[in-house]
Amino acid sequence: MSIQFDSINLGSSMVGPKHGLDPAEVQAAQAKAFDALEGFRASFDQGRYGFPALPSRSAVQRQILACAAAMKGTYDTVCVVGIGGSALGAWALDCGLRGPHPVQAAHSSANPRLVILDNVDPEFMQQALASMNPARTVVVPIAKSGSTAETMATFLVVDEWMKQALGAKKASARTIAVTSEGRGDLKAFATANGLTAFHIPENVGGRFSVLSPVGLVPAALAGLDVKAVCRGAASMTQQSWAADLSTNVALRSALYHYLILSLRKKTIQVAFPYSNRLWGMAFWFRQLWAESLGKANNRKGRTIFAGQTPVAALGATDQHSQVQLYMEGPNDKVFSFWATDRWNTPGAIPKAKANFESFDYLAGQSLGKLIDAERNATAAALTAANRPNCTYSLGRIDAAHLGAFIQMLEFQTAFMGELMDIDAFDQPGVEQGKVFTFGLMKRPGYEAYAEAYKAYEKKRSRN
Ligand code: PA5
C-alpha cells in the first residue's frame, strides 16, 4: 500500500522564486511541522479529536458488517439521507470502489446501488422516489446533530413513502439510523420507532466521520470492502504519527501547503484527480479543506479570515474547460494532481490502423497511458508557466488505498490547522446557516433569527 507525495514542482528551481518555495524556507519551517504534529498528538491523547482512532474500532466494524449481512438479499437500493459530512464520504467510497454512478453496473440484490439524498430540491426528491421500490430499499438517515433541517425534512418524506407502501413495522425494519448516541431528535425517533441505530463518537466531526458508521454503514450495505478500507486507513494512521518528514506524507504535504499559502499567497487549491473514480473523493475533500480551514479567527481569538479555497477539477476532462484559466489567469493557485500508479484495467486501444493520421499513432497504445501522459503534460505546462503544482500518487485505486488516502487527507488537514493556528474542527459558519434556516422555517426557539432575516429584507427593500 503506497501513497506518495511529489513536491518537486512546488520548488523555486522549477517555478521561480516568486511562486515556488526555496529549500531554505522549507528547511527553516521543519520545526514548525514537528510542533504541529506534537500539538495534534496532544489533543488526540486528551480525547479531543477522534478520527485517527476510527479505523481500529473493529468491534463497531464487525457490528456494521453483521447488520449488512443479516439484511443481504432483501434490498437492491441503499437510500442515504444526509448532507455535508453525513453524505459526502459514502459517495467518495462508492465512487472510488464501484465507479461514478452513471456507469455503475445495473443494480440488483447482489449489487445494491446507493441513492444519496443530500439536497432538498423537490424535483430531485420526486425522481429519486420514483426510481426506488420501497420493498427493496433500505433507508439510512444520517445526522450527527439529529436536527439538520434538510435531513429531517427529507427523512420525513422518505419515511412516509416507506410507511405508506409497507406499513410502519416493515418500514422501521428497513431503516437504520446513524446519529449521536446521547442526544438529538433523530436518536429519539430511532428509539421511539425501534430502529437499528449506529452511533457517531462525540469527538468526531461530520467531515472527519467517513470511517465511522457515517460512511461505513452505507458502504457495508452496498457491499464494499469495509475491512480493507479500514486496514489501509489504520496503516496510514501509524504513518501519520511518525516524526519523520520523509515517511509522514500527511505532515510533509501539510507543511508544503502551509508554506505555499502563507509565503506565496496561493489562496486556491485545485484538487485535480486524473481518475473518474476519485471524483467523489475530490468533492469530499472540498468540504474537508473548506470547512476545516476557512475560519474568521485564530486560536488566540485574533481575526485573520484564514483559508484556502478548494476547487475540484477532473483530468483529463477539465483540460478542455479549466486549464486555459489555470495556465494564463491569475497565478493564485496551487495544483494537487491525484494519480494512480497502476490502472486496474489498461484500456487497450485497438491495434488496427484506420489509415488516418489522427487515429493511427494511438493504435495499439492504451487509455491508461494516454491519461497519464495528459497529466504529466499538464504538470509540465503549468510548471513552465510558473504555476506551482504537486502530485499525490496512489499505488492503485482499491479499498486499502482509498482508506489510506482518506486518512492521509484528514491528518493533513489537522496538521494544516495546527500550522495555521486555527481550530480545524469547528464550523461556526455552518451552524449559523442552520439556525437561520430554523428561524425562517418557524422552528420554536429560533424567532430571533427570523427577526434578523426580516431586518435584512427591510434593508434590501431600501436599496
Ligand atoms: O462537517 C460538519 O460538521 C458539517 O458539514 C456536517 O456534516 C453537516 O452540517 C451535517 O450535519 P449533521 O450530520 O448534524 O446533519
Of 366 and 436, the structure prediction assigns the larger pLDDT to 366
pLDDT (tens digit per residue) in 404-433? 999 999 999 999 999 999 999 999 888 888
Given a cut of 90, is residue 54 above it in pLDDT? Answer: yes
| Residues 272 and 355 grouped into a single domain | yes
| Residues 94 and 9 grouped into a single domain | no
| Residues 155 and 196 grouped into a single domain | yes
Residue nearest to atom 8 of ligand 1 (CA): 84
pLDDT (tens digit per residue) in 174-229? 999 999 998 999 999 999 999 999 999 999 999 999 999 999 999 999 999 999 99
C-alpha cell at 1: 500500500
Separation between Cα atoms, residue 459 and residue 450, nearest integer Å: 14
C-alpha cell at 26: 522549507
Q: Which ligand 1 atom is nearest residue 179's CA?
A: 13
| Residues 116 and 182 grouped into a single domain | yes
Say if 159 falls within a structural domain: yes
C-alpha cell at 125: 426528491
Furthest CA-CA distance within the chain: 74
Active site residue 38: no
| Residues 304 and 322 grouped into a single domain | yes
Q: Give the pLDDT of residue 106.
A: 85
| Residues 329 and 381 grouped into a single domain | yes
Q: How many Å lie between the centroid of ligand 1 and the Cα of residue 258?
A: 25
Residue found by looking up cell 434590501 in the block? 460
| Residues 211 and 178 grouped into a single domain | yes
Q: Which residues line ligand 1 (CB under 6 A)?
A: 83-86, 143-145, 148, 151, 205-207, 291, 427, 430
Residue nearest to atom 2 of ligand 1 (CA): 206
Enclosing domain of residue 108: 51-224
Q: What is the mean pLDDT of residues 66-76?
A: 97
Q: How many Å lie between the centroid of ligand 1 and the Cα of residue 47?
A: 20
* Residue 271 neighbours by CB distance under 10 Å: 24
Q: Give the pLDDT of residue 1.
A: 83
pLDDT (tens digit per residue) in 155-172? 999 999 999 999 999 999
Of 77 and 429, the structure prediction assigns the larger pLDDT to 77
- How many domains is the chain partitioned into structurally? 2
Average pLDDT over the chain, rounded to an integer: 97
Active site residue 320: yes
Given a cut of 90, is residue 104 above it in pLDDT? Answer: no
Q: How many Å lie between the centroid of ligand 1 and the Cα of residue 38?
A: 27
Q: Give the pLDDT of residue 432.
A: 87
Q: Which ligand 1 atom is nearest residue 205's CA?
A: 3
Q: Which of 42-46, 261-265, 439-443 has the lowest mean pLDDT?
A: 439-443
pLDDT (tens digit per residue) in 320-379? 999 999 999 999 999 999 999 999 999 999 999 999 999 999 999 999 999 999 999 999
Residue nearest to atom 9 of ligand 1 (CA): 84
Q: Give the pLDDT of residue 426.
A: 92
Catalytic pick among 291, 295, 401, 418? 291
Q: Shortest CA distance to 88 belongs to which of 409, 309, 341, 431? A: 409
Q: Give the pLDDT of residue 250.
A: 98
Given a cut of 90, is residue 434 above it in pLDDT? Answer: no
Say if 129 falls within a structural domain: yes
pTM listed for this prediction: 0.96
Active site residue 257: no
Say if 433 falls within a structural domain: no
